[in-house]
Structure 1
């Protein structure tokens, strides 16, 4: 076989192995040889515009470049593992100690004893309970008259306490006292609260000189106590009216500072113009002063001549005068809500007693 010359090939391989490869370093700087003929005419660039090439590898040399260390014997399932007890069982572990024969004993508890409000007269006297009330309030609660008129009767000598004429206005009646008015014994009445759905054509008063029908005719069989209407509804107005012999509550519900809310359903002779709607909402000036309603809105699924109005003012005929001021005639006016009370399950011309919760709600009005 022909002998081939491999000397040239071996020389080329040697040159390839000995060839110095170009290395890259982040700190590489181009060096200029001042003695070189090629760079004799060239000038190095100014350092004022030198690019900042420093980074986290700047301290590492080209030969000592960063490499990730590893274990040649590393296996995927190897590594640090959580230590455990080979004898561990799921039901093992620290448990609360207890006595298996333990039985709950409630003897250590203090037995419940209903409080007895008896007092030991030898050691301590009972605190007095103030059950006394002023004489004028006692007369008013008996349904004779108001407190103001009771003061007049007391000063006139119409009232006797325990057989003696009492003219002291500030006298406080004791539970053992016997009070007489014009020679008849009187007692304090139970408080009554009657809610009436007033029909059209009745006057809100206790009696009428002209013999017209009053709201008292509708509640004549409700109670024997002397109840009075809280506020007023004029003759053509219908809706809720509260009657009671609780003078303090009646004064509270009618006083303007408490702002008791009332809602009316109003039917006008024509559609309420939107401009007038805005005027009522923003407030208008009447003969007796400025008035602004709490809320006004058209009634849903009804013609535009029916509106609902919420107001807390207690002025006389205030709702009618608002619409009459704008040129409307009120054909129907119905009070549907008064101080949170509604007409639910209360037909026109009928009455009902307030529930205990309703009475509490009225007394809690601030």
Structure 2
């Protein structure tokens, strides 16, 4: 139910599991549960990196990604270009009609995002990441394996710096700094979080088809039946930052269960659970509805289906799961199934202030 804002009652006001008629209160949400626990109490798990699937199926040598199929289609068929643009416009909300250009060159990566003097030099791995084909870490692998050349010479040195005027190639393909695009989607059910589905099911790219020429990728993932916020971008560096659990990026979910959660199970969940792939503990937990059938939780784990598996471990089935907050971004003015471009202020905060 898009736009639902439900608050959670202090646990002393009712007993979870009590047989009461279900009540839904509008105008409140579990977006700010009160964050008092130290980071040291949070669980750690394996990072989930931002890795576009290479065409050769192997990750040792990431394959060069072409521009989106959309660009190739519209170059041949103006009618298709017009139709796809109209469909994208119908789903888009917010003040930006096209992907804005962000001036991020003068920001320092320190709290407060202080300005620094601009330099035309940058590290080679950053240049490759900015070309939109991989993350910085993957760019280091490309450099080390001798697949990158600068001005005709193969470079394998880590930390090598290039000028904007240098010619950088991946194999025989010249790279250029791609325009960075950031799209926020309020994902509906029945859309797959992938860029290509062999079974030809609906993907999140179908929601934004025609939004931009750049090839953008989902940051993390949401299950097919999970709704809520999903960020898509070609900024591999930011995507890696937002999906690495050591950064403690805030994600808040509302889970509607098949039965009221009991006081005992609530306390077990609050203390943390030992699942088949390790220990996991919510960073914050709260009851959203008086009938104790909707639970809000903040978690930074990137493990697959982690929220659903936590409740399944306690004997509950999650009937609806909605991500209401991701990295400080919320669903305000973003109805279900719609998308918008991020503002420069939002991008600066994500890249330099989190």
- Same fold judged by TM-score > 0.5? yes
- Residue equivalent to 1:224: 213
- Residue equivalent to 2:321: 333
> Structure 1 residues 260 and 151 mapped into 2: Cα distance closer, same or farther (>3 Å)?
closer
> Structure 1 residues 330 and 180 mapped into 2: Cα distance closer, same or farther (>3 Å)?
same
2:263 aligned with 1:274, yes or no?
Answer: yes
Alignment partners' CA distance in 1, 2:288 and 2:273: 22
1:195–1:240 contact (8 Å) kept in structure 2: yes
2:258 aligned with 1:256, yes or no?
Answer: no
CA drift of 1:282 comes to 2.2
Alignment partners' CA distance in 2, 1:286 and 1:184: 45
SS at match of 1:327: coil
The 10-residue stretch of structure 1 (233-242 or 169-178) with the greater mean CA deviation from structure 2: 169-178
Paired residue for 2:192, among 181, 196, 203?
A: 203
Superposition CA RMSD, Å:
2.5
CA drift of 1:315 comes to 1.9
- Residue equivalent to 1:295: 284
Question: How many pairs were matched up?
Answer: 237
- Residue equivalent to 1:135: 124
> Structure 1 residues 209 and 148 mapped into 2: Cα distance closer, same or farther (>3 Å)?
farther
The 10-residue stretch of structure 1 (221-230 or 341-350) with the greater mean CA deviation from structure 2: 221-230
Deviations 1:320-352 (A, max 9, x none): 111100111111100011111111111111111
TM-score normalised over the length of structure 2: 0.60
> Structure 1 residues 280 and 159 mapped into 2: Cα distance closer, same or farther (>3 Å)?
closer
- Residue equivalent to 2:302: 314
> Structure 1 residues 134 and 326 mapped into 2: Cα distance closer, same or farther (>3 Å)?
same
Specify the structure having the higher radius of gyration (Cα).
1
1:158–1:165 contact (8 Å) kept in structure 2: no
Q: Identify, as 1 or 2, the structure richer in helix.
A: 2
CA drift of 1:201 comes to 1.3
- The structure with higher relative contact order (CA 8 Å, sep 6+) is 2
Gaps of 5+ in 1: 1-127
SS at match of 1:243: strand
SS at match of 2:253: strand
1:163-202 matches, within 5 Å, as 164-170=152-158, 171-202=160-191
> Structure 1 residues 179 and 258 mapped into 2: Cα distance closer, same or farther (>3 Å)?
closer
